[in-house]
Each structure stands twice: as C-alpha cells, then as structure tokens.
Amino acid sequence: MSIRTPEWVKDAVFYQVFPDRFARSGRQNLNLHLQPWGEAPTLHDYMGGDLWGVIERLDHIQSLGVNALYFCPVFQSASNHRYHTHDYFKVDPMLGGDDALRTLIDAAHARGMKVVLDGVFNHASRGFFQFNDLLEQGEHSAYRDWFHVQGWPLYPYEHQHPANYAAWWGNRALPKFNTSNPSVREFLWSVAEHWIALGIDGWRLDVPNEIDDDSFWQAFRRRVKAINPEAYIVGEIWGDAGRWLSGDQFDAVMNYNFTRPCLAYFGAQSLDNAVNRVSGIEALEPLDTANFAQRVTEVTQAHDPQIVQAQLNLLDSHDTARFLTAVSGDASAFRLATIFQMTYPGAPCIYYGDEIGLPGGPDPDCRRAFPWDQPESWDRQILHLIQNLTAARHASRALRRGDFTVLHAEHDLLAYRRQDVDECAYVLMNTGLDASDLRLSGLTPGQYKDALSGHRYVVGDTQTFSVPGRGGLVLTQS
C-alpha cells in the first residue's frame, strides 16, 4: 500500500508540555492545596500549572521556532500527570476546563501552530465512572465486561490481597480496558473522534503496543482520518515499531531509536548510566563516530521515507531523565545533540525547559516547574542555539525534507548531507575539544551560510572547513 503521512509534520518543530509544571496562570482557584512553584517535584503533589498559563506563554514558545505543541494528558484525572483518566470527554478543571483548551487551540491555530493531545486508551483509572460502577456493583455491574475481571471481590486499594483485575504493569490504580469488547472499542474510538472534531491536530498514543490488536488501531486510524486526513497519529513505542508503521496504523512513533544513539555518542565521555538505567533508556555503551553514523543511517532506512520524515525525534521526555542530566551535566554534549536533532530527518521535539538548560533526573525529577521567575538560571547559549537552528530548519527545505547521507565519520569528525531535489545543506560536527580541519569533496558548489556563526562560504566541489571543538557548522544554501 502507498504510505502517506501528514504534510505539516514534515515541517514541524514540536514542543512538549507537561501541563502541571509549565506555567501557572493565576486564573485558577488559589485555595487549592498546591506545592510551591519550583520546589523539588514529587510523585503526587500538584504545582498548579494550567492551560491558561500555556496561552500566556505562547510568545516564548513561538520564539523558539516551534509550530506544533504536544501535551501530556489534559483530561480530568486524580494525578498531577493525568495518565489516570477519570473523564475522557472533559478537560481537567484544574487545567482550566474545556474553555481553556478551546481558547488554547484557537490561539495556537491563529499563530500557525498545531495541537496534539495525549490519548491514554489502554487503561483508565479507579475514578473512571465505568470502573467505579464495577467497584460499587460488583458482579452486577453493567460494565463488568469493560475490564479484565479475574475473580471476586475486587481489591483496588488493599495490597494484601490480589487485585483480581488486570492493570497496567500491575498498578491497580490503572485498570486495563478489555478492548475486545465492542462497547469499549466504540467508546475509545468516539473519544478520539470527539476531540479531533473539536479541532485538535492529532493524538500521541500512550503505550499503544499494550492494545495488542492491529484491527483496533486500524479502525482508530480510519475514523480519525475520516474527520481530518491531516491528523497526526504518533505512538509511544520504545523499540522496533515496524508492526505499527506500515501505513495502516500510526504515522510515526516517539523515536527513542534516535534518542539512544544521541546519548551514547554525544555523551560518550559523560554518560550517567545509573540515571539512564532507571529512566526507560537503559544503560548505554558509548558510541564512536563510525558506529554512530552507521546506527543513525540505519534508523533513516528502517521505514518508508514518508514515515521517517514524520518521526517524532526527541532527546528526552517526561518519562526519561533530561538529556543534560543523563550526560552528567555536560552542556556541550547537549548542544551537539541539539544540532544533530534539528538537522536530522523527522520532526524534532523540544521537551519544555530544555531550551533553557533545565536539568532533571528520572521521574518525577524530570518534571520540574519551569523557572519563569529565575531568568538568571537560564542557559542563554542553548536558548539562542535552538532559535538559530529552528530558523535555519524552517528556511531550508533540505534540512526539513532532504535525504540523509553521511559523508565523513572518523575520529571526532562527522559530516553529512541533507539533499532535496534542488537544494543542499551540509552539517559538520566535531566532538573533540579542539578545532579540526575537515576536507570534503563531491560537494554541490554554491554560496552557503553557517546557521551557527553567520559566516558565509563560497563552496566548491572540494573544500576544507575548520570545525570548532565541541561544535559544528550547519551550512545552508543562501
């Protein structure tokens, strides 16, 4: 079958927002029991970030060159991360309710920005009405077949007893849906349709591999795309995603197969595997330049080009330690990885706070509050780097959609070409401490500008470049 992915995603730069920790607007009920903004995050405390706060900070987000937003769950829930869904048809009142989301969608669209929401369809929560009915009515519940009941009575809180129902990774707060039940399937598909019809631009799917049923996701895709053919469907798959990327289920996945080699190469000298081991990434062996080049080339060849151009390329997320912390605070490694992320095929995704060098270990530390009131703590170097890189990406079709070809991968020096039909870009990177000369041949002659330094080059077929230590050149035709 011919594979097609949304056109806008191929030109997108995403920004991931964890709503409780991004920005507190002051419009919400201040009588709530909230953790002081900026204190060390805990598993259970709320800091009170809301969608109105996101709206107030859209200027900041847009200044990063971002044109797409991905939100961790926003639906009513009894958890600060909101993966414990109570009501799939209602935005959490603490986040501002449905009015805040409607206003946010309109404000984002007015700026040319897309909005993607997180869909938790594998499991619900103890507070989900249908499961609550099951707890109240037991074997008499009308919804007993909505879940995987294994015995009676159910024990949703009493850990000295077996839960007697299937739950996500045994967490009895998260009862697993019985997605073989036609009523459950229809309910979940109707949730997806409802919010697409109300204007969101796509779904990020939480643990979709745990709904081990291709027909479920095939129907999900058909029904979503029937409302908006350009809706983006991106799954959270940490490993081999080929099963879901044949054109009939997802458009892309969160590309952790991109994340891991970036950590292993750019952070080769500073990896903190004690952090990585407990944050989903797992312990990594350092990569040299040749092996890194081979690995990322394989990643670009693993799927149809339409899929590759739509992959969500992330350096970290709400589920992992932040990249900066995973490389023991090595800011130069983070900058190098960011250069690569912004010049590699697929849609780059910035996790909120990364643009100012916000650190954070494994969950919940990776979910710190954005330090709006402490601008002196911001890393302005990474902020300006991201702005320069996204501007170059938006201005260069080659960086957004071009083929990826490694030209040199030896010692500390990596060079690759991004080539569209009639446009080229070259990226040269140096992981060593000292500047090095790199001679390349077979180049497309022309005038180029380095997005990082602003320096202009008249490039011939063969050219020698000086690549700064722990830095690079991003050359686009000008």
**Is 236 in the active site?**
yes
Average pLDDT over residues 390-410: 98
Average pLDDT over residues 415-429: 96
Widest CA span of the chain, in angstroms? 79
pLDDT tens-digit readout, 75-86: 999 999 999 999
Do residues 237 and 208 touch, judged by C-beta distance below 8 A?
Answer: yes
Q: Pick the catalytic residue from 20, 118, 236, 450.
A: 236
Residue 1 has pLDDT above 90, yes or no: no
Convert 381-394 to b/e letters by CB count within 10 Å (16 or more is b).
ebbebbebbbebbe
Report the alpha-carbon distance of residue 132 to residue 127 in Å, rounded: 6
Do residues 408 and 417 touch, judged by C-beta distance below 8 A?
Answer: no
Output the pLDDT for position 28: 72
For 28, residues 6+ apart whose C-beta sits below 8 A from its C-beta are 48, 50, 52, 94, 96
List residues bridging with 116 in a β-sheet: 70, 202
Average pLDDT over residues 437-454: 97
Report the alpha-carbon distance of residue 358 to residue 353 in Å, rounded: 5
Burial of 145 per CB tally in 10 Å (0-12, 13-18, 19+): middle
Residue 29 has pLDDT above 70, yes or no: no
The token pair that represents 156 in the structure block? 């949703």
Residue 172 has pLDDT above 70, yes or no: yes
Sign of CA dihedral 58, 64, 68, 73: negative
Q: What angle separates helix 289-301 from helix 256-266, to the nearest 10 degrees?
A: 170
Structural domains in the chain, sorted by start: 8-122+179-395 (3.20.20.80), 401-477 (2.60.40.1180)
Task: With residue 258 as reference, give the H or E element that holds it.
Answer: helix 256-266
For 149, residues 6+ apart whose C-beta sits below 8 A from its C-beta are 134, 164, 165
Average pLDDT over residues 392-396: 98
Q: Pick the catalytic residue from 50, 92, 201, 206.
A: 206
Output the pLDDT for position 93: 95
pLDDT tens-digit readout, 206-236: 999 999 999 999 999 999 999 999 999 999 9
pLDDT tens-digit readout, 257-315: 999 999 999 999 999 999 999 988 999 999 999 999 999 999 999 999 999 999 999 99
- Rounded to a whole number, what is the distance in angstroms from the first to the last CA of the chain? 38
**Is 403 in the active site?**
no
Do residues 182 and 213 touch, judged by C-beta distance below 8 A?
Answer: no
Contacts 24+ apart (CB under 8 A), 8-11: 8/68, 8/114, 8/201, 8/230, 8/232, 9/68, 9/232, 9/251, 9/252, 9/309, 9/310, 9/347, 10/309, 10/310, 10/347, 10/400, 10/401, 11/67, 11/394, 11/400, 11/401
User: What confidence category does residue 27 fall into, taking pLDDT thresholds of 50, 70 and 90?
Assistant: confident
Average pLDDT over residues 351-373: 98
